[in-house]
Amino acid sequence: MYSLQPFKLLLILLSGVILLFIIAPVLGIYLSTTPLEIFETAKDEEVFNSIWLTVWTSLAATLIFALAAVPFSYLLARKDFPLKRLLTGLIDLPIVIPHTAAGIALLGFISRDSAIGRLGSAIGLDFVGNPAGIIIAMAFVSVPFLIHAARNGFEMVPLKLEKAARNLGASSSKVFLTISLPLAWRSIVSGLVMMFARGMSEFGAVVIIAYHPMVAPVLIYERFGAFGLKYARPVAALFIIVSLIVFMILRLISSRKKNAGT
């Protein structure tokens, strides 16, 4: 009984170190930034527009790509096919590679000289230096979080329920929409929240695709490079506050959906 006590103390100590490592840098920003500085920064039109751009492009990336990512996750959860393991590994590629490299890869894919770029130009849409390009960059680095979360959710849905519905004459699409999707919704919502949050924080891929218009992470970097830490810190402090508020709202919505489903 008592022999376990030192180990428990060690676990508590190590846990405290990790928590301090996570919290201390963020706390340091607010200890070094006055409320007046944050308030004045919030009134800066450039900062406001940058944060708003970050929020709505990340939300757009999440909602648009979820239309394909969720069905794809269902396919991964329910079907076996050749090279499935390889495909599952490729899904993590945007997470593994450096995000500046991801930006370079995307730039070659959507530049004006590419097939996608020429198609966009034909309808008056240039991805480079455009919110559309920002949406693509955000989605590229964040969609694996949604795919994995949704896949785990679908895998937890009892297969016998789907088979029973099929035996009663329900089509595959009806089974997906009325059984699989509602039962996996908790995991899907968690994946949506994580994808949205990851998109908001992206810098490397976005700055390659669109330095202008500036999303908040790019603006923070630009002010740090041009004016130093003193001018970048209030923007970072404000963006962290906005990010936490948005994240908490989404988590609250997610928890309510979970409670409603139980």
Mean pLDDT over 72-89 rounds to 90
Give the confidence band of 259 by pLDDT, cuts at 50, 70, 90.
low
Nearest in space to 142 (alpha carbons), one of 215, 219, 61, 56: 61
> Mean pLDDT lowest for which of 94-108, 109-123, 175-189, 222-236?
109-123
Q: What is the pLDDT of residue 1?
A: 47
At 85-114, the pLDDT tens digits run 899 889 999 999 999 999 999 999 999 888
Q: What is the pLDDT of residue 126?
A: 87
- Please say whether the structural domain 35-261 has been given the CATH code 1.10.3720.10: yes
Q: What is the pLDDT of residue 125?
A: 86
Q: What is the pLDDT of residue 84?
A: 87
Q: What is the pLDDT of residue 262?
A: 55
pLDDT averaged over the chain? Answer: 92
Mean pLDDT over 219-237 rounds to 95
Residue 250: other Cβ atoms inside 10 A:
19
**Residue 196 and residue 62 in contact, taking contact as beta carbons nearer than 8 Å:** yes
| Percent of residues, the chain, with pLDDT higher than 70 | 96
Q: What is the pLDDT of residue 261?
A: 54
HEC string of 31-58?
HCCCHHHHHHHHCCHHHHHHHHHHHHHH
**Read out DSSP for 209-242?**
H-SSSPPHHHHHHHHHHHH-HHHHHHHHHHHHHH
Q: What is the pLDDT of residue 200?
A: 95
At 107-162, the pLDDT tens digits run 999 998 888 989 888 888 889 999 999 999 999 999 999 999 999 999 999 999 99
Instruction: Tell whether the model's pLDDT for residue 253 goes beyond 50.
Output: yes
At 3-46, the pLDDT tens digits run 558 888 899 999 999 999 999 999 999 999 999 999 999 999 99
pTM over 0.85: yes
Nearest in space to 181 (alpha carbons), one of 161, 201, 200, 203: 161
The first and second tokens of residue 239, run together, are 């963006």
